[in-house]
Structure 1
């Protein structure tokens, strides 16, 4: 069995009164219906940036947030998906990609199951729908945008996982339906509903990003997320902590790294008791990361060991 982590958020079914009172966004995302300020407040990214991202999503119907670890790629994806589907009959879902994730998991495949037709419970092999097919079938019954988040998309062999989807990502609607590889029913072609959107996240510190081919790149809007230390300032505003001391150290380290694909992000330091837990986070998360990056420069690692950094909260 593959290890698929799924998180589904489903708004309640809207009644006829609801639909008359609230204007559902419809199959196409309407930027006028999106509360950009709410997304900005939650993520600390500028509304102009968020609007630009969403325009890219409208143009391509799928986008990928990419950047170094700790820059909030999944966090931002979920908040945008929540805002788009809020108050509509739309849904969003999340699936975690990994090295063992395959076409049979995402699209469809023949899997073993126990037969219930007789007392023996014989093992039978049946064609079963994968995560994406199930999501699309549910989206067909809805009138609003439905968003599937593909977390760590570059951890899997994306071209193999997507299969026929590489064509369908570019051409939507029933007129562009295709016969899936393992489906023998001639009249059972598949298409992606117009109201389905894909968000991906991609960790640029994971060298498997080099395996993402240009066919995939052309079908997604790629949005870089860099360390945004305003999030830390906002998180600890009013706490009395000297957060600038931590930020200046992170900026100094990122200057030494000198590669924005491997920069240290900010999420390491969120949702913790910073005074009590900073040393623990630094020793067991930041130092191992630096040891891997500066593997040929142990002196640089020693320079940024916990006992040598000047962070005075």
Structure 2
């Protein structure tokens, strides 16, 4: 009788001649789910926990395609599953049992996020944070395949108890200003352990990693290692090996990123979520600080640096700003890039109206219509690059919450961006009225609200997209009673 473990057994099966393959999947619980049974007997199907985690990762990787199909339409979802699900077994199942699989994923996302009150049949909540949290929960429930196989054969793995099921990654979120890059990361990492930093032109390697800095000890000055965000995130990951930890870098290309990372550049190459290579610590004080932190938690010291599989690096970048620095090709190759598209159909975009003066009178217009159908329309006509257009969250709901704050935000933020950045070399009179020659004139004219500030065709578009203020309202009477 065969004496090896099940993975070896299946390898032997696959070695037999024949055109149909056999493979072993890691041990995992199985989800058994059914159809509605309306056409006869109820039928049951199953996918493993590992397979369902893969499906959620596929949704995350193709989020822009999924989020526009939150409502279940069979053909759309069958095509979506077929095009994006990477697991061959689940892909085949999805094309014939599309609705049962849709509802399984829907319920998993709802329960994992505690959103039972928001469950709707045939409607999936695809907020990126919710999908990520559902995946993280399922990952936390994975049994250790090494323990299982070792138990079958009487072996014990030397790494049992230290293996992580989390797959760390390096991702950069980019897109036009106001497309919600930081918001997307905030949703993805909600409730997770994270360290957040912001790069700027003066950021140096020592700021990122840490350095010896003077401290007062009584009346004397001594030096202690002060950790930077990378070191803090690394310690957090090493001391919480069963949890996903995030190092979030806002505005990564405002600093010379490759120089800021320095020798850590080598660690960005990953295999199975962890650094493919490790390096010697260039700063012995940094290594001593890390090991002291590990010792305090009863964890063995390390003698080299590497990024563990439970530490992900997420960053934002804006390529349209004048102050950004280029990322070199070798650095970019070690990151995945996630594009945040300009999507004014997003339900979180403000519907608040504000009042603008046009040549045909005052109109009330929504931010959605003004930014997308007026300003972006004419910027596209000028062949302005996409990353310089207005994103749906360029102005926040708070900034647009009332007439006064909206007027301040339009003049003090939006118009400054258009005047100083986008139209600097394209002619300001392509958007604004020809008689407005300085930003000071634009500022004063707009706040006075007596005459329009936009060029003729732009002014006409504002009037068309807005709603004319009702001029039939009777003014208050100031006279005395007759």
Label 1:192 to 1:233 Cα distance change in 2 as closer, same or farther (>3 A): closer
Which ranges in structure 1 are unaligned for 5 or more consecutive residues?
A: 1-28
Q: 3-state SS of the aligned residue for 1:211?
A: coil
Q: Which of 186, 203, 228 is equivalent to 1:78?
A: 186
Q: Which of 174, 194, 197 is equivalent to 1:66?
A: 174
Q: Which of 252, 255, 263 is equivalent to 2:389?
A: 263
Name the residue aligned to 2:361. none
Label 1:130 to 1:50 Cα distance change in 2 as closer, same or farther (>3 A): same
**CA distance in 1: counterparts of 2:409 and 2:401, whole angstroms:** 11
Say if 2:420 is the partner of 1:295. Answer: no
Q: Offset at 1:217? A: 0.6
Name the residue aligned to 1:160. 259
Paired residues of 2:172 and 2:337 also in contact (CA < 8 A):
yes
How many residue pairs are counted as aligned between the two chains? 267
**CA distance in 1: counterparts of 2:69 and 2:226, whole angstroms:** 43
Name the residue aligned to 2:215. 113
Say if 2:210 is the partner of 1:95. Answer: no
Q: Which of 131, 134, 142 is equivalent to 2:232?
A: 134
**CA distance in 2: counterparts of 1:295 and 1:242, whole angstroms:** 26
Q: Offset at 1:218? A: 0.3
Which ranges in structure 2 are unaligned for 5 or more consecutive residues?
A: 1-51, 71-79, 81-125, 136-165, 289-301, 354-363, 435-441, 447-451, 468-482
Q: Which of 87, 104, 114 is equivalent to 2:206?
A: 104
TM-score by length of 2: 0.48
Say if 2:213 is the partner of 1:213. Answer: no
Paired residues of 1:106 and 1:161 also in contact (CA < 8 A):
yes
Q: 3-state SS of the aligned residue for 2:280?
A: coil
Paired residues of 2:167 and 2:310 also in contact (CA < 8 A):
no
TM-score by length of 1: 0.71
**CA distance in 2: counterparts of 1:259 and 1:174, whole angstroms:** 36
Q: 3-state SS of the aligned residue for 2:178?
A: coil
Name the residue aligned to 2:250. 151
Label 1:74 to 1:264 Cα distance change in 2 as closer, same or farther (>3 A): same
Paired residues of 2:167 and 2:309 also in contact (CA < 8 A):
no
Name the residue aligned to 1:3. none
Name the residue aligned to 2:310. 195
**CA distance in 2: counterparts of 1:175 and 1:220, whole angstroms:** 14
> Rg bigger for which structure?
2
Label 1:138 to 1:126 Cα distance change in 2 as closer, same or farther (>3 A): same
Paired residues of 2:198 and 2:249 also in contact (CA < 8 A):
yes
Name the residue aligned to 1:12. none
Q: 3-state SS of the aligned residue for 1:161?
A: helix
